[in-house]
Amino acid sequence: MRILAISGSLRTGSYNTALLAAAAECRSEAQVVVWRGLERIPAFNEDLDAVPSVVTSLRLAIAGSDALLIATPEYNGSIPGVLKNALDWVSRPYSENALRGKTVAVVGASQGTFGALWAQADLRRILKTIGAEVADRDLPVPRAHEAFTVEGRVRDPDLACALCATIHDLVSQAAQRAA
């Protein structure tokens, strides 16, 4: 099983990207592949004559995956604009979008005390509106600057276990949908 992982953060040393790297280390029957390229996606504009190649690449990567894992930081109480922009591109045309029916799990890390909970809730709502099958499970990582080592590894074994449980649930949900 292939899980496409997308970080909503562009920052070098991103805690959300580190969270996806930790997910890739979970012992699972799934291969977690991190997609990079959010910074190259232009602002959504349906008037463009051609879909940008980076958007086509993202659409194909989503379509070629069995499930999706998105890690989002929280900016001003919601998801980052670059992540929302990418989802706007992927959601068109609505009836044929690559996320329609796709199993998705959402996680998030922030330096605040709530672990990007508002952003995770907004992201789940957006994904459901697009037509994705979204897991309702939260995985907040508060005080992310303390949750990871300088090398970007998860410090807390309980957090690592919760992340691996999220991956396990995502794999199970995607397998049930495929059956």
DSSP 23-55: HHTS-SSSEEEEE--GGGPPPP-TT-SS--HHH
Closest CA to 159 of 177, 176, 146: 146
Instruction: Specify whether the CB–CB gap between 77 and 41 falls below 8 A.
Output: no
CA 122 to chain centre: 13
Would you state the pLDDT for residue 136? 85
* CATH number of the CATH domain containing 57: 3.40.50.360
Q: Hey, how many other C-beta atoms are within 10 angstroms of the C-beta on 29?
A: 9
Would you state the pLDDT for residue 38? 97
Q: Which helix (H) or strand (E) holds 68?
A: strand 67-71
pLDDT along the chain (179 residues), means of 10: 97 95 90 96 92 96 98 96 98 92 97 94 97 93 94 94 96 91
Would you state the pLDDT for residue 49? 85
Domain that holds residue 172: 2-178
- Number of separate domains in the chain: 1
Please, which residues have CB within 8 angstroms of residue 79's CB and are 6 or more apart in sequence? 8, 72, 119, 122, 123, 126
Alpha helices (runs of H) in the chain, residue ranges in sequence order:
15-24, 53-63, 81-90, 117-130, 144-147, 157-178
Would you state the pLDDT for residue 121? 97
